[in-house]
């Protein structure tokens, strides 16, 4: 659909989120004026924005919401959980409609009926009857609030007279010419002629039936306008409206980078020089200004920009006032309402940029050896300092390119308050949600991975973790449970923790359940440590049945959570204390496009192991490695960990050298830790992982190839597949 519509969708989504947050705050504290105001503003803006498009049920619904809130604001109605439910339902409906509009371009067929039901719901329990009277006169002309910028500029500001004229469809037969009436309106500032319904194809159209609607604004008073419509008093509404002065359409917010860049262009135009130099500067400045304006969402006629770039003064005025005069032929285009807040870039372009940055690092890495070959002379010194500078720049570039994809975790946190509220209400529990670290940033791909598992964990914690108030009271806990969702950055990755102060998981019950489900033999289950028993919730096939939740286990789909997180190169950990709560920790890499690996050596080749899997690296004396036939194990951090040798895994000959200690990488895989013995452990490096292609694709055990900063190629291992 049109750009205007796209913008509408983005705006509505933001408004719905704002409204949802304000509603939550308001429900918690019904006396919170700021939230009522914010909620009211959101509904009001939604109403105005929706009036631009053909979506009457939407407008009707938000209008009703606005009315309800206006009663609330005036203290004529009280906030109740039931009313909050209804308002939430209205917001949800709006969100669904917007999704439908985006997808199908039209509201669903049942929209009008749905709106009606919701509107009745909100009106229910209304105590006062003067709701209609409370609607101000400005509300009688909602379209006035939704004029496009171009129209606003044309009508001016202050007190105006609005005319809303919907002629009788049969009016042509009585000799009326609705359009002609507007010729008699004094100081006509705006006249919009719109079909009241989509016009039918010409063949089915009755040329003598009027299907148009007229909306106009005049600078004259109501009494001066009314006489023009004396013949059609029943079809016209005339009233005065006040238009707030329009914000100065400054090209870019002052102090922003764009503003500084625009100012710089003006400065360049004033530089001294001969005619040819000035001409080329003018062309360059015009290109720059046009590009900056387009990026700001203010695409402007090329000719107008070029005309403005004659000297600094003209350019500054052009930027402040807009084009001096509109080209006569151009139709007034629907101006974009506000500078776009986000710049949308296709992911492919980002990937291309990342790939280029990767190549650049590789090429830069080859400079080192060259510099060393240059010896010690003056030239070599210069080369060295040049290399250092290049090094820094490439590093910064890489960092900047990486950051382009980062978004705050607030995106995945946003749905949580609502989820907690609804679920807690359904379960009759009282739960305080504490969100921390919403500003933590992670790659967009990671956020996409994180969203679903997080909802799952929160739902589980509410369902199975936090107890009902009576039970909490009986164990001496405060009746309201606390659910804490905390995000922070760690080891080059992002960590999200979901912890509750609920009943926790009973390891004994987990062991019994595992045996009952036939997942473990009784003696194997008995041998499990408590921590490992709790970790059983992640085992596939463990947690789908109801019996698990009866055992106070948390369960539904925890293996799905684990699978999703591990697919993205992350890790899930769980810790639980029976009686006092459970904590689930998701660790994910910062980005999917750059993987942090530990470089290890085996049989003379380099390999990478994703850092997310690495729990530690250490030297283990040979004597501490216990071997039973070919199976070896080692005790690390009080755990018996199976030990595998990378050479053997890769089918390489064993290490003949006699060594006193082995280098061991402790890999934390989903079903327990594994110690991987390697020849040597090198640096940690950020690499762009490239999947195996062509004939190599069928090779299992490798996640892909990557090039190190110095140009050496490594194979990145997929330990899960390899073991």
Partner 1 sequence: MPIRYDADLARFEAACTVEDALPLAEWLEATAAPRVDLSACTDLHTALLQLLMAARPVVTAGPEDAFLGRVIPLPPTGP
By CB under 8 A, residue 200 contacts partner 1 = yes
Q: Which of 79, 48, 76 has the alpha carbon at shortest distance from 62?
A: 48
Name the CA radius of gyration of the chain, rounded.
34
Q: What is the dihedral of CA 480, 485, 486, 490, to 10 degrees?
A: 140
Taking the complex as a whole, the smallest distance from the CB of residue 207 to partner 1 amounts, in Å, to 4
Task: Give CA–CA dist 504/238, Å, rounded.
Answer: 66
Structure tokens, 208: 């003598």
CB-CB contact of 389 with 395 (8 Å): no
143 binds partner 1 (CB under 8 A): no
132, 133, 203, 248: which one contacts partner 1 (CB under 8 A)? 203
Q: Are 310 and 268 in contact (CB under 8 A)?
A: no
d(CA 15, CA 720): 44
Shortest Å distance, C-beta 212 to partner 1: 6
Cα end-to-end distance, the chain, whole Å:
51
Tokens describing residue 293: 């304006």
Choose the stretch contacting partner 1; rule: CB under 8 A; options: 205-213, 241-249, 588-596, 647-655: 205-213
Q: Which residues contact 668 (CB under 8 A, 6 or more apart)?
A: 571, 613, 614, 615
Rule CB under 8 A: is residue 165 a binding residue for partner 1? no
Q: Which is nearer to partner 1, 194 or 270 (CB)?
A: 194
- Among 210, 286, 590, 681, contact with partner 1 (rule: CB under 8 A): 210
Nearer to partner 1, 212 or 390 (CB): 212
Are the beta carbons of 305 and 327 closer than 8 angstroms?
A: no
Cβ closest to partner 1, residue 20 vs residue 167: 167
The continuous run of DSSP H or E covering 417 comes out as helix 415-427
Residue 97 is given by DSSP the state H
Query: CA 447, CA 453: separation in Å to the nearest integer?
Result: 10
> Can you tell me the distance from the alpha carbon of 61 to that of 118, in angstroms, rounded to the nearest whole number?
7
Binding mask 178-197 for partner 1 (x = CB under 8 A): xxx-xx-------xxx-x--
Selection from 121, 50, 56 nearest residue 83 by Cα: 121
Smallest gap from residue 561 Cβ to partner 1 (A): 54
Q: Does residue number 694 form part of the binding site for partner 1 (CB under 8 A)?
A: no
Does 207 sit near partner 1 (CB under 8 A)? yes
Residue 619 to residue 708: CA distance in whole angstroms: 24
Spatial distance between the Cα atoms of 698 and 715, rounded to a whole number of angstroms? 14
For the record, the structure tokens of 168 come out as: 């009788």
As measured in angstroms, the least distance from the Cβ of 334 to partner 1 is: 12
* Residue 414 C-beta: closest distance to partner 1, Å: 40
Per CB under 8 A, the list member of 14, 37, 157, 177 interacting with partner 1 is 177
Binders in 648-667 for partner 1, by CB under 8 A: none
Q: How far is the CB of 178 from partner 1 (least distance, A)?
A: 5
Q: Which CB atom, from 189 or from 237, has the smaller least distance to partner 1?
A: 189
Place of tokens 């359904």: 426
Alpha helix segments (H runs only) across 222-274: 222-225, 257-269
β partners of residue 668: 673
Closest CB to partner 1 among residues 197, 638: 197
Please, which residue, 178 or 504, has the CB nearer to partner 1? Answer: 178
* Residue linked to tokens 């106070």: 552
When the beta carbons of 192 and 372 are compared against partner 1, the nearer one is: 192
Distance (Å, whole) CA 242 – CA 162: 10
Contact, 571 vs 672, CB < 8 A? no
Q: Which of 56, 123, 212, 455 binds partner 1 (CB under 8 A)?
A: 212
Instruction: Select from 113, 205, 355, 524 the one that contacts partner 1 (CB under 8 A).
Output: 205
183 or 341: whose CB is closer to partner 1?
183
Q: Number of residues in contact with partner 1, rule: CB under 8 A?
A: 27
b/e map of 77-86 (b: 16 or more CB within 10 Å)?
Answer: bebeeebbeb
- The span of 83-91, 169-177, 657-665, 699-707 binding partner 1 (CB under 8 A) equals 169-177
Q: Which is nearer to partner 1, 218 or 593 (CB)?
A: 218
- Whole-number minimum distance, CB 150 to partner 1, in Å? 12
- The nearer residue to partner 1, 34 or 303, going by C-beta atoms, is 303
- Residue 34 or 193: the one with the smaller Cβ distance to partner 1 is 193
Applying CB under 8 A, among 9, 138, 211, 468 the residue interacting with partner 1 is 211
x/- track of binding to partner 1 for residues 325-364 (CB under 8 A) = ----xxx---------------------------------
How far is Cα 514 from Cα 505, in angstroms, rounded to an integer?
Answer: 14
Tokens of 605: 């080749």
Question: Rule CB under 8 A: which residues touch partner 1?
Answer: 167, 172, 176-180, 182-183, 191-193, 195, 199-203, 205, 207-208, 210-212, 329-331
């Amino acid at each position: 659909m049109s750009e205007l519509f796209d913008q509408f969708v983005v705006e509505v989504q933001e408004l719905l989120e704002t409204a949802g947050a304000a509603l939550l705050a308001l429900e918690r504290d019904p006396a919170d004026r700021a939230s009522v105001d914010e909620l009211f503003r959101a509904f009001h803006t939604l109403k105005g924005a929706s009036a631009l498009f053909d979506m009457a049920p939407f407008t009707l619904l938000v209008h009703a919401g606005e009315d309800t809130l206006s009663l609330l604001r005036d203290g004529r109605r009280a906030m109740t959980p039931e009313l909050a439910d209804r308002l939430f339902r209205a917001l949800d409906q709006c969100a669904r409609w917007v999704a439908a509009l985006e997808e199908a371009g039209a509201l669903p067929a049942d929209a009008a009926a749905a709106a009606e039901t919701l509107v009745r719901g909100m009106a229910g329990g209304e105590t006062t009857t003067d709701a209609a009277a409370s609607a101000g006169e400005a509300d009688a002309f909602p379209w006035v609030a939704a004029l496009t910028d171009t129209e606003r500029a044309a009508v001016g500001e202050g007190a105006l007279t609005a005319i809303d004229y919907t002629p009788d469809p049969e009016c042509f037969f009585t000799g009326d010419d609705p359009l002609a009436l507007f010729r008699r309106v004094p100081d006509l500032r705006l006249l919009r002629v719109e079909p009241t319904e989509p016009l039918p194809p010409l063949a089915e159209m009755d040329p003598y039936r009027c299907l148009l609607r007229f909306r106009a604004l005049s600078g004259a008073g109501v009494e001066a306008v009314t006489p023009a419509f004396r013949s059609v008093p029943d079809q016209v509404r005339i009233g005065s409206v006040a238009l707030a002065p329009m914000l100065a359409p400054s090209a870019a917010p002052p102090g922003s980078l764009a503003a500084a860049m625009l100012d710089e262009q003006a400065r360049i135009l004033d530089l001294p020089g001969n005619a040819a130099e000035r001409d080329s500067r003018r062309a360059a400045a015009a290109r720059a200004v046009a590009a900056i304006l387009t990026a700001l969402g203010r695409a402007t006629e090329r000719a107008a920009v070029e005309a403005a770039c004659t000297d600094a003064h003209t350019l500054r005025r052009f930027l402040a006032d807009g084009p001096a005069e509109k080209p006569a032929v151009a139709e007034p285009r629907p101006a974009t309402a506000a500078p776009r807040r986000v710049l949308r870039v296709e992911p492919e372009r980002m990937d291309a940029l990342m790939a280029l940055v990767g190549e650049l690092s590789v090429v830069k890495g080859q400079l080192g050896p060259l510099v060393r070959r240059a010896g010690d002379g003056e030239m070599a010194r210069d080369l060295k300092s040049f290399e250092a500078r290049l090094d820094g720049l490439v590093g910064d570039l890489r960092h900047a390119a990486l950051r382009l994809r980062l978004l705050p975790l607030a995106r995945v946190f946003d749905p949580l308050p609502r989820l907690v509220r609804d679920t807690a209400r359904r379960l009759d529990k009282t739960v305080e949600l504490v969100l921390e670290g919403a500003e933590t940033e992670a790659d967009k791909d990671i956020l996409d991975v994180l969203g679903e598992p997080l909802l799952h964990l929160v739902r589980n914690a509410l369902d199975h973790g936090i107890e009902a108030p009576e039970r909490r009271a009986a164990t001496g806990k405060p009746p309201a449970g606390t659910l804490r969702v905390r995000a922070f950055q760690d080891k080059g990755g992002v960590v999200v923790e979901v912890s509750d102060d609920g009943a926790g998981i009973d390891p004994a019950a987990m062991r019994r359940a595992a045996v009952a489900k036939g997942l473990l033999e009784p003696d194997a289950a008995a041998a499990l440590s408590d921590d490992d028993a709790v970790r059983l919730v992640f085992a596939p096939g463990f947690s789908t049945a109801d019996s698990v939740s009866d055992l106070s286990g948390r369960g539904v789909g925890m293996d799905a959570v684990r699978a999703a997180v591990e697919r993205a190169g992350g890790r899930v950990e769980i810790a639980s204390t029976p009686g006092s709560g459970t904590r689930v920790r998701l660790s994910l890499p910062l980005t999917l496009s750059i993987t942090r690996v530990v470089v290890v050596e085996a049989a003379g080749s380099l390999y990478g192991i994703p850092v997310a899997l690495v729990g530690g690296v250490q030297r283990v004396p040979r004597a501490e490695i216990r071997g039973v036939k070919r199976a070896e194990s080692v005790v690390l951090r009080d755990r018996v960990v199976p030990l595998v040798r990378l050479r053997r895994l890769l089918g390489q000959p064993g290490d003949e050298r006699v060594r006193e200690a082995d280098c061991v990488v402790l890999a934390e895989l989903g079903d327990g830790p594994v110690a991987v013995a390697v020849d040597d452990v090198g640096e940690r490096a950020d690499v762009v992982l490239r999947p195996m292609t062509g004939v190599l694709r069928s090779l299992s055990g490798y996640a892909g190839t990557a090039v190190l900063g110095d140009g050496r190629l490594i194979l990145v291992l997929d330990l899960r597949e390899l073991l």
